[in-house]
Amino acid sequence: LMRRHRVAPEQTVAIGDEERDVTAAREAGIASIAVSWGLSRREALEAAHPTAIVDAPAELERLILDGPAAATP
């Protein structure tokens, strides 16, 4: 999909609610944002080491619009 749309990995982010989403993003060479309100518990997501974890949709919006500096570690 990135290749088809000519989007570089550094311009792409995967958003998911499971550890496997974070792993898939890492394997694709892209950043990942884990959302804590989905299938996996926050602790499990932290163990997967996503680029960022958000706890609310407003945080996700802020992170996407403002970039990594808006992430909550």
Q: Report the pLDDT value the prediction gives residue 24, as an integer from 0 to 100.
A: 97
Mean pLDDT of the 49-68 span = 91
Q: Report the pLDDT value the prediction gives residue 67, as an integer from 0 to 100.
A: 73
Residue 26: name the closest of 13, 8, 39, 45 by CA. 13
Q: Report the pLDDT value the prediction gives residue 72, as an integer from 0 to 100.
A: 47
Single pTM value for the model: 0.87
Q: Report the pLDDT value the prediction gives residue 73, as an integer from 0 to 100.
A: 45
Instruction: Give the sheet arrangement for strand 31-35, strand by strand.
Output: 13-16, 31-35, 52-54
Mean pLDDT of the 3-21 span = 95
Residue 36: name the closest of 26, 24, 47 by CA. 47
41 pLDDT more than 90: yes
